Amino acid sequence: MTGRDNRPPVGGDNKMTTTSSASAVRAYEHLSGGEGRRIYYRAERYKVRDLFRKILPEIEVDKAPFTLHDLSMSGIAVFGDRDMEWNADVGTCVPVDLKLGDTSLFSGSGKVCRVEPTPFGPKVGIQLTTGPLDIAQIVTRHNEISLQRELDVGLTETLDLVDPEYRVVCADVIHLLRQCRVTLTKFEGTNGSSGDDRERIAEALAQCEERVIPRWRDLWHRANELVAPIMEDPEALAATKRFTEAVLTPEFVSGPIWWRSYEKPLGYPGDFGVMNYVYGWRHEGKSAYGKLVHRLGLEVAECIATRMVMMQHTIADLVSNGPAEEPARITNLGCGPAQEAVNYLQVGQLPRPVEFTLIDQDRDALSSTYENLYPDVIRLGGRASVQCIHASFAQLMKAGLLLTDFKPQDLIYSVGMIDYLAPRRAKALAAGLYEQLAPGGMLVIGNMRDTLKGNLWPMEFICDWSLYYRSEQEMLDMVDGLPLTSVEVKPDPTGRVYMLYARKP
Ligand SMILES: C[S@@+](CC[C@H](N)C(=O)[O-])C[C@H]1O[C@@H](n2cnc3c(N)ncnc32)[C@H](O)[C@@H]1O
């Protein structure tokens, strides 16, 4: 499968409707160009991962290190570190240096066109004023240097910085997975594709899962213990991550949830495709082995489903307990598939009207979510409404517009997004959301928990998916100083996520 395969059809307008004739030939008078800013032609942009795969060139903008996101012959987009304080005015001219190791790939300057704060750090768009970039030449040069580097460094890199005990755990994981692969592949080979054969393979897979999952959990928890001490040691952390990605990640990526989590085909981690794998909880993968490792990934991601169910209960409580004709107003920031809303709206009848506002920076996520919600919105005959807002929270906050167009909300929640924000930004966002609550309204924040039985190792090390894991105190710190009638932090049933519930007087 590829990352784009299960993308939903994209709506043609802001109402997120879909067209069933997307593949039909259209007459000239029906052809349209871009909309909004997209009417301006831009030179083709290439995602940095597509061009350079794993060895990414380093980039300095204005002498500060950034991460390259994409480039075209006329411009680049870069991300700064999420804790970085970099402020250059739009229109400023800055030096730009692209290099790999000691070798320069491009050196010139550009004009800052856009600076947008995001949970991953500031995203900066630069139009090159010296150029154009010869992308083909840069890629060729990059490939030559990468080859040299792999030969010179990669193959001789010492493993001194990687704890030998950790290496043993990785070997044990490989041993476990290889045994399963051999057994399942052999069994698959002796069976055909008839219904009975498929059932036999499914049975073999179920037996394998039953034996493997407890051992997988033990190894994952052991690895968590071993990586905990290196989290504050950048060199050991980088070496251990490189080791894990070289040795273990390839064993996992035939499981679709691992592939998507690692490759990040939409350019950001934890997209709605990953979330949908969890909520779908199906056997996915081309082979029995792929399905097995996918299942191990679901085991890791189970807390995403359990926290979603907690939110569904919170929504149900709110809607059940309120004045009968007054709508319950609910906003979800970083909504992704908003599965809790989808599930909740499947109720036979609503105790009172409900108005959902769903906000996400990913338009495709909103489109797919809206389509999932729409049949129930229609069925509930005007007692439920859903408004989707395609914006990043930073855009909303920066413009001072955060929800100001809306009535005060009874429930505002953000689950699985604030995990990407440094403490200061998380606190500022929590305060901004609090402002939009109605008296007596509740703010709920879900964040991965800092615990030795948590998701750190599989996510950070196997999938290169970085989050802030928070303690109970760090959860409370987000709302410290806000006037509250109650505040509570509860773990989800797996104990791997914390949910913060803060009520406004
Ligand atoms: C890990 S997913 C969680 C989705 C959903 N809350 C859930 O638990 O299923 C994070 C979501 O946050 C969205 N997101 C990331 N950065 C955002 C931003 N700056 N503003 C709004 N949404 C954002 C992503 O597009 C993604 O849908």
Pocket-testing residue among 261, 417, 468, 496, ligand 1, by greatest number of atoms within 8 A of Cβ? 417
**Cα 426 to middle of ligand 1, angstroms:** 14
Asked whether residue 35 carries a pLDDT value surpassing 90, the answer given is no
pLDDT tens-digit map of 89-143: 888 999 999 888 888 888 899 999 988 877 667 889 999 898 778 888 888 888 8
458 lines ligand 1 (CB under 6 A): no
Q: Which residue lies with its CA nearest to atom 19 of ligand 1?
A: 392
252 lines ligand 1 (CB under 6 A): no
Distance CA 205, CA 109 (A): 56
Confidence band for 8, pLDDT divided at 50, 70 and 90: very low
447 lines ligand 1 (CB under 6 A): no
Tell which phi-psi region holds residue 285, choosing left (phi > 0), alpha (psi between -120 and 50) or beta: left
Residue 35 has φ and ψ, to the nearest 5°, of -120, 160
Tell which phi-psi region holds residue 429, choosing left (phi > 0), alpha (psi between -120 and 50) or beta: alpha
The pLDDT of residue 3 = 33
Asked whether residue 23 carries a pLDDT value surpassing 80, the answer given is no
The pLDDT of residue 155 = 63
- pLDDT mean over 249-277: 96
pTM score above 0.85 = no
**Cα 281 to middle of ligand 1, angstroms:** 20
Asked whether residue 156 carries a pLDDT value surpassing 90, the answer given is no
3-state secondary structure 395-464: HHHHCCCCCCCCCCEEEEEEECCHHHCCHHHHHHHHHHHHHCEEEEEEEEEEEEECCCCCCHHHHHHHCC
User: If we measure between CA atoms, which residue out of 396, 388, 384, 394 comes closest to residue 421?
Assistant: 394
Does the CA dihedral 34-37-39-40 come out positive or negative?
negative
Distance CA 482, CA 501 (A): 13
Instruction: Give the domains, in start order, of the chain with CATH numbers.
Output: 46-156 (2.40.10.220), 164-300 (no CATH)
* Ligand 1 atom index nearest CA of 337: 9
**Cα 369 to middle of ligand 1, angstroms:** 12
- pLDDT mean over 253-261: 97
**What is the number of helices (H) and of strands (E) in the chain?**
15, 14
154: which 2 tokens?
Answer: 């990669």
3-class DSSP assignment, residue 168: helix
pLDDT tens-digit map of 426-442: 999 999 999 999 999 99
418 lines ligand 1 (CB under 6 A): no
Asked whether residue 16 carries a pLDDT value surpassing 50, the answer given is no
The pLDDT of residue 15 = 31
Asked whether residue 17 carries a pLDDT value surpassing 60, the answer given is no
Pocket-testing residue among 281, 330, 361, 447, ligand 1, by greatest number of atoms within 8 A of Cβ? 361
**Cα 419 to middle of ligand 1, angstroms:** 10
**Cα 272 to middle of ligand 1, angstroms:** 8
Residue percentage of the chain with pLDDT more than 90: 61
**Cα 261 to middle of ligand 1, angstroms:** 14
Question: Which range, of 16-20, 145-149, 235-239, 402-406, averages the lowest pLDDT?
Answer: 16-20
In this structure, the dihedral spanned by the alpha carbons of residues 357, 362, 367 and 371, taken in order and rounded to 10 degrees, is -60
3-class DSSP assignment, residue 485: coil
Distance CA 33, CA 340 (A): 36
120 lines ligand 1 (CB under 6 A): no
365 lines ligand 1 (CB under 6 A): yes
Q: At what angle do helices 272-280 and 288-320 cross, to 10 degrees?
A: 90
Asked whether residue 483 carries a pLDDT value surpassing 80, the answer given is yes
State yes or no: cis peptide before 132, omega within 30 of 0: yes
**Cα 399 to middle of ligand 1, angstroms:** 20
Q: Which residue lies with its CA nearest to atom 13 of ligand 1?
A: 334
**Cα 135 to middle of ligand 1, angstroms:** 32
The pLDDT of residue 286 = 94
**pLDDT, averaged across the chain:** 87
- pLDDT mean over 277-302: 97
Confidence band for 157, pLDDT divided at 50, 70 and 90: low
